[in-house]
Amino acid sequence: MFAYVDNAATTPVGKAALESMTECLQQVYGNPSSIHSQGQEAAQLMGKARETVGNCLGARPEEIYFTSGGTEADNWAIKTAALLGARKNKKHLISTAFEHHAVLHSLRLWEKQGYSLTLLNVHGDGLVRPEELASAIREDTALVSVMYANNEIGTVQPVAEIGTICRERGVLFHTDAVQAVGHLPIDAQEQKIDLLSLSAHKFHGPKGVGALYCRKGIPLDIFMEGGAQERGKRAGTENIPGIAGMAAALKEACANMTEDNKKVSALRDKLIQAMTRIPRSRLNGHPTRRLPGIANFCFSGIEGEGLLLHLDQHGICASSGSACTSGSLDPSHVLLAIGLPHEEAHGSLRISLSALNTEAEVEHIIAMLPGLIEKLRSMSPVWQKIRQNEGS
Amino acid sequence: MIYSKAVMDHFYNPRNVGSIENADGVGEVGNAKCGDIMKMYLKIENEIITEVKFNTFGCGAAIATSSMATEMIKGKSIEEALKLTNRAVAEALDGLPSAKMHCSVLAEEAVKSAIADYYRKNGQEPPPMARLAECCCHACEQSAEN
């Protein structure tokens, strides 16, 4: 049996997205900047896509800027806030220790430019405490950037509370919502979000396209110099097929959200129940305040990669954390941020589900995992020590 | 796949897994903080390694290099086993990704550490060749700095 359960890394392109992209590639090939009918058809299609994306976020179409993905949107949002802050001599940035590297590394870059950076504690449950944020905000705070939902452990932050605090204190609030868009209901206006990043391939759209929401009134920085695309803020001919695919995928995800979430969270809970029965296992992150699709576990005495290779041999495609860090030997910065020791953090497994996963697939995982963990533990000197200590 | 067929073979079907009771030499290298620990057990008769077993906590490459290293020293003299290099282990596995070369270093060190232990058990100073290199992993460097 084959089971793709790495949907937090990326999702397969959905039917709606594929159809709209194919149609676009074959028929709407014009450049939206061209004045002729073929070009205007592309411009119209892009306008509709902007409306669709805006609708799904509780935003106006003119507040949506298309990007090459979540990473670009994160970089852009942080750059905008940092430069705006500098104009008012505000050079303090607030974020969390377990942000995606697109945010963390961007913030570090500004830190090198003389900004000060405060990283909020995300505690053992992977949640920011709004009162801690409130006391971290200073007179010179330019930006608060807190991810909507964590990509490795799936915890969902109290975004509306964070937004309210930031608005009251006059600080810009950015949220990296890459894992949340299309999976959780979002209302940028109601939740008082100023800047929001999203990526199409996390909700069955294509790779290489995303968007930045920038609340009306915030002067967005110019990200790319050149032509007048994206209201002069991001030059370069637009990725029309990608944008069309993203809009179609998001529209579908938002329309089916309630139904899909019910199904996916039931599968997730079934998995959590079974995995936490394995001796010396733990579920990482808050037990209930989490995304419908993400479950992250640690199994003492084993290392994550070995488990992934065994799972792959049994047709199960999972992850041991963020795919972006798999080239690194360091354990997940997310798991370290929630207080796990290095040796535990090495033994993590992330299973991320989508509505395309079935009960049979989850049962296959539940059937295979305990034996594979046992196999790795049986040859692990770390596990032997744990057992000896338990016995003594 | 990031690994060669040989690595995957030794990972899925590791040779010589286990431990030896009353082993003549036992070596443990690496640390769990870095994500790799190898423990190697040797049975030595007349300077010949007659039996070798290992236990490893670590990634696919760590398990495969341990397995390959045990195969390469089984039946060999101590002198020959001390000549085993990490490069030879990696080559026998048709190469390793560069980020995983440290696993082959660990495998070489596990062999040396077990042989050094054999000398010490017999009241002898281990030969210079059994001396270990410094641990090469990033996490140790960080903890040393802190």
Listed by number, the residues of chain B in 18-57 with a beta carbon closer than 8 Å to a beta carbon of chain A are: 18, 28, 32-39, 54-57
CA pair distance B57, B18, nearest whole angstrom: 12
Q: What does chain B come to in residues?
A: 146
* Interchain CB contact of B106 with A (< 8 Å): no
CA pair distance B106, B10, nearest whole angstrom: 16
Listed by number, the residues of chain B in 56-75 with a beta carbon closer than 8 Å to a beta carbon of chain A are: 56-60, 62-63
Asked if the model's pLDDT at residue A347 lies above 90, the reply is no
CB pairs under 8 A between A and B: 69
Q: Which of A92, A53, A48, A93 is nearest to A74 (CA)?
A: A93
Asked if the model's pLDDT at residue B106 lies above 70, the reply is yes
Which stretch of DSSP H or E encloses residue A143? strand A141-145
Measured CA distances, A254 to A58, A212, A261 (Å): 12, 18, 11
Tell me which chain A residues have a C-beta less than 8 angstroms from the C-beta of B57: 301-303, 380-383
Secondary structure of residue A153 in the 3-state scheme: coil
Measured CA distances, B38 to A122, A382, B62 (Å): 34, 9, 8
Catalytic residue annotation of A: 324
Say whether B56 and A305 touch across the interface (CB within 8 A).
no
Q: Is the four-CA dihedral A329, A333, A335, A339 of positive or negative sign?
A: positive
User: Token match 């005495």: residue?
Assistant: A301
Comparing alpha-carbon positions, the chain B residue that sits nearest to A320 is B59
Say whether B57 and A329 touch across the interface (CB within 8 A).
no
Secondary structure letter of residue A184 according to DSSP: S
Q: Which of B12, B57, B99 sits opposite A329 (nearest CB)?
A: B99
Dump pLDDT digits (tens) for A271-316: 999 999 999 999 999 999 999 999 999 999 999 999 999 999 999 9
Q: pLDDT band for A143, please (50, 70, 90 cuts).
A: very high
Comparing alpha-carbon positions, the chain B residue that sits nearest to A301 is B57
Asked if the model's pLDDT at residue A13 lies above 70, the reply is yes
CA pair distance A110, A93, nearest whole angstrom: 9
Average pLDDT, whole number, for chain A?
96
List the end-to-end C-alpha distance of chain A, in Å, as a whole number. Answer: 42
DSSP string covering B82-143, please?
Answer: HT--HHHHHHHTT---GGGHHHHHHHHHHHHHHHHHHHHHTT-PPPGGGPPPPP--HHHHHH
Q: Is the four-CA dihedral A209, A333, A119, A203 of positive or negative sign?
A: positive
Asked if the model's pLDDT at residue A253 lies above 80, the reply is yes
Say whether B138 and A330 touch across the interface (CB within 8 A).
yes
pLDDT at res. B129? 83
Q: List the beta bridge partners of residue A176.
A: A197
Tell me which chain B residues have a C-beta less than 8 angstroms from the C-beta of A298: none
Q: Extract the tokens encoding A291.
A: 């995304």
* Comparison of pLDDT for A280 and A342, the residue scoring more: A280
* Comparison of pLDDT for A330 and B11, the residue scoring more: B11
